[in-house]
Chains A and B, each alone.
Chain A
Amino acid sequence: MPRKISFKQAINEALDLEMSRDPTVILMGEDIVGGAGSPGEMDAWGGVLGVTKGLYAKYGNRLMDTPLSESAYIGAAIGAAACGMRPVAELMFLDFMGVCFDQILNQAAKFRYMFGGKAETPVVIRAMVGAGFRAAAQHSQMLTPIFTHVPGLKVVCPSNAYDAKGLLIQSIRDNDPVIFCEHKNLYGHEADVPEEPYTIPFGEAEVVRDGKDVTIVSYGLTVHRALDAAEKLNANNISAEVIDLRTLSPIDWDTVIESVESTGRLVVVDEANPRCSIATDVAAHVAQHAFGALKAAPQMVTAPHTPVPFSPVLEDLYIPTSDAIAAAASKLIGRAAAR
């Protein structure tokens, strides 16, 4: 029975359902319970933003609070996965990949290939991504392209609560390592979410708005900015189709190509820095495979090539805005920017 719950609750529910279904699912991370060994209560935090709150009461020591040792516990989650468990490790902020990347890049991602197809590493690494939280340069990055660059990893970045639940359950059941990116500014976003478990297959983008003049491709938070832009464009008689990629590795090229072949125009919106990004990847793929369908050069709307700034006036300029997206689409069509 669908009811409105937040993105954060959807993540909690997916973890709860899978832990209840499969005893090999364990959770590891810093403060995912909170209060371990302290004089006060356990489950004091339930994760730094409360995403895992309440699970400790149900599953006890299957939730493991870790020391601040990302290499050790992310690596331990990977090692446990290679030994038959299904760990979900929380890296808190994806920015912290800097202190444990070897275990992801050279271990988890490589085992299957390097060991001749004999290894399975069903680990999920959950982490917050994205700017807009006034958290500055080391807690705000959209590092998705770094992970899509690595063969052997799957990369997921949902834009809404419904997808978050279905994609997280799929991630836990999947037998490959998955980087599950949760945009921190979507945690409060609500959607209709069924109570029962369900999965959303990887590599299936969703057309979240139909249109005929221009295709806008995005993922995560900026899907909402793209939808806002589509509304603005509509007021200017421009019909925009909006595609939510949902998973970045694997990526659903067919849906993107099919849409561009119909509209003839492409705007890619990416909160990541622009060089070697999801935006460049999509633009290049479309240019190579649907060049004949294009009526104009693909446009990319991305963060600038800078770290994420702290001051709110600067940070608000950092994330692609609906105005910038609408302007890019209008330019493709040869009209003044919609307001």
Chain B
Amino acid sequence: MPENPFPLSKPDLQKAYRIMRTIREFEERLHVEFAKGDIPGFVHLYAGEEACAAGIMLHLTDRDRIASTHRGHGHCIAKGVGVREMMAEIYGKATGACHGKGGSMHIADLGKGMMGANGILGAGAPLICGAGIAAKFRGDGGVGITFFGDGASNQGMVLESMNLAAIWNLPVIFVVENNGYAESTSVDYATAVDSYIDRASGFGLPGVSVDGTDFFGVYEAAGEIIRRAREGGGPSLLECKMIRFFGHFEGDAQTYKAKNENEDNRAHRDCLKSFAVRVTQAGVIGSEELEAIDREVGRLIDEAVASAKAAPLPTPRDLVTDVYVSY
């Protein structure tokens, strides 16, 4: 058995791969199922960006909070939200994570520290400052992480929150998932600074930029800034430069992308492929072991789709419940 050169144990490496594969399968399958017309509304897929969610969330436990985005399926899965409940939610079923009242853009599981996907871009940044305040008052060492895209990085509330977190030294991390596109508008057009590190320093925050398709790079950078936040060292910004395999939403013709951009990215910048090459070449995990995980995940997603389709719909009574805790 060769020595493990990675900063994770073999079981943790397998866990990381399983999370990333689960996200990929979940999203690829949604792409197919959405096209059949069974899924109401619209969905924003995280395929291609898995290393960011997995590389960060492996450092977290349920006491840590995250505030996600409209492209939140990957964050949910990596934070431990049940795949069956998620799928049922996306199908608008009563058994869904939010009983069918939230949908793809609002999946939440507060018990797991998942404060919600969010249809308002950048809105998680103020909320995560609140999670940081709560952690600080409790003194439990918990951290809060908010994700936002390169597009939402230009929201005023994100910028206000970076300043707030900095002056209060909150255990909060701002993760820019820079996939190059705000819907269809390029980051080069919409963002004046060349580097998010410059923007972080403008708020007095340490900033780190990593290749978000490299699980190990994300894992290492996130580990350092999460440790610092837990120890009272305050907030940081992490930029993950990544790839969006699909469009902004399903049905997006993606004519704003370069010719063959998606194909090239899938061929050369697939975070799952690069992870598999690294761990198999190092001889830590065999390719047959990864294939076994692939099959297991495939069955999980098959089962999640089948159970979501068969699940009961909300009843008319559900329309008017749970507006308030007390009336």
Q: Which A residues fall within an 8 A CB radius of B?
A: 24, 26, 64, 66-67, 69, 71-85, 87, 102-103, 106-107, 110-120, 151-152, 154, 174-176, 203, 250
B161 within 8 A of A: yes
- The docked-state distance in angstroms from the alpha carbon of A250 to that of B168 is 36
Most chain B CB within a 10 A radius of its CB, from A66, A106, A115, A154: A115
Q: For residue B102, which residues in chain A have a CB less than 8 angstroms away from its CB?
A: 114-116
Q: For residue A154, which residues in chain B have a CB less than 8 angstroms away from its CB?
A: 324
Task: Name 16 interchain pairs, CB-CB below 8 A, sorted by A.
Answer: A71-B156, A71-B157, A75-B125, A76-B127, A76-B164, A77-B130, A78-B127, A80-B130, A82-B110, A83-B65, A85-B130, A87-B130, A107-B118, A114-B101, A117-B321, A176-B325
Q: Among A78, A106, A118, A203, point to the contact of B108 (Cβ < 8 A).
A: A118
- The docked-state distance in angstroms from the alpha carbon of A323 to that of B101 is 49
Given contacts A69-B164, A87-B133, A117-B322, 18 further A-B contacts (CB under 8 A): A64-B168, A76-B129, A79-B115, A79-B129, A80-B130, A82-B127, A83-B135, A103-B157, A111-B108, A112-B322, A112-B324, A114-B116, A117-B321, A118-B109, A118-B111, A119-B110, A152-B323, A152-B324
A85-B98 in contact (CB<8A): no
CB distance from B319 to the nearest CB of A (A): 10
B282 within 8 A of A: no
B120-A80 in contact (CB<8A): no
B325-A113 in contact (CB<8A): no
Q: For residue B160, which residues in chain A have a CB less than 8 angstroms away from its CB?
A: 67, 69, 71-72
Most chain B CB within a 10 A radius of its CB, from A26, A72, A103, A111: A72
Closest chain B residue to A70, Cβ basis: B160
Most chain A CB within a 10 A radius of its CB, from B127, B137, B163, B325: B127
- Residues of B8-57 contacting chain A, CB below 8 A: none
Most chain A CB within a 10 A radius of its CB, from B118, B123, B324: B324
- The docked-state distance in angstroms from the alpha carbon of A175 to that of B115 is 17
Q: Among A85, A117, A203, point to the contact of B137 (Cβ < 8 A).
A: A85
B126-A74 in contact (CB<8A): yes
B326-A175 in contact (CB<8A): yes
Most chain A CB within a 10 A radius of its CB, from B131, B132, B135: B131
B106 within 8 A of A: yes
- The docked-state distance in angstroms from the alpha carbon of A112 to that of B326 is 11
- The docked-state distance in angstroms from the alpha carbon of A10 to that of B233 is 40
CB distance from A123 to the nearest CB of B (A): 9
